[in-house]
Amino acid sequence: MLKDKELRKTIGSRAKSRRQELGLNQPYVAEKMGVTASTIQRYEAGTIDNTKKMTLEGLADALHVSVEWLKGETDEYETDITDKRELQIRDVMTSILNKLPYDMEQSESDFSKDLLLLMLREYELFVDSFQFACKNFKGNTDNKMLAQTMGFESNKEYNEIMFLREITHTVNALNDMGDIVRLYSRNPETAKNRLANLLSEKDPDSV
């Protein structure tokens, strides 16, 4: 009996520390498990049985850790989730996928999916450019001589211009997407064609 009580405390303590580490609240975990927030509170306090297989698996899935870690059998998370934003991104992506197929005409569904594909491909390009820009032009003081040689008034101006140059394609793409969405209400066919052309430019298989 004492062993069971200690296990409940271990599971509860670890569940709470992991939830707080990820910046999640109890209602979020409760929703993932299909229980109430007060139940999560009691699981974390170890005041009700949290050792059942279904409960352990639910907590482990919601917090992206292993059952073994929750039970104190290992100190390794065995997870690839490091913060709340990564969880939110996965939640949004899962929600989008769960809405497929869309309840609309085929042409409308195709347009919606193409727009999503374009957004995702552009985001992937943005991340690469943004990482490069942050690493090389965000407060970089090593480019002072180069900035002078190229005629910039200061190293700061050089960094700002070069940073913007790296991510301009994303700014332009977002503007194009906004124009296409606005155009759809007036001329769906033209909007679809413009979207298809932009998508083919971003399609790695079309090169």
| Least confident range of 56-60, 133-137, 146-150, 199-203 | 146-150
Distance CA 201, CA 172 (A): 14
Q: What is the pLDDT of residue 145?
A: 73
**Burial classification of residue 7, based on how many CB atoms lie within 10 Å of its CB (0-12 exposed, 13-18 middle, 19 or more buried):** middle
Confidence of residue 10 (pLDDT cuts 50, 70, 90): very high
Query: Which of 25-61 are b and which e, b meaning 16 or more Cβ less than 10 Å from the residue's Cβ?
Result: ebebbbebbeeeeebbbbbbebeeebeeeebbebbbe
Give the H/E segment covering residue 181.
helix 155-184
Q: Which two tokens stand for residue 22?
A: 């990820």
- pTM of the entire structure? 0.77
Q: Is the pLDDT of residue 2 over 60?
A: no
Q: pLDDT tens digits for 39-59? A: 999 999 999 999 999 999 999
164 or 152, which is more confident: 164
Q: Is the pLDDT of residue 178 over 70?
A: yes
The residue assigned the tokens 């969405």 is 181
Largest CA distance in the chain: 78
Give the helix ranges, DSSP H, for 23-154.
26-33, 37-45, 53-63, 67-70, 84-98, 106-137, 144-149
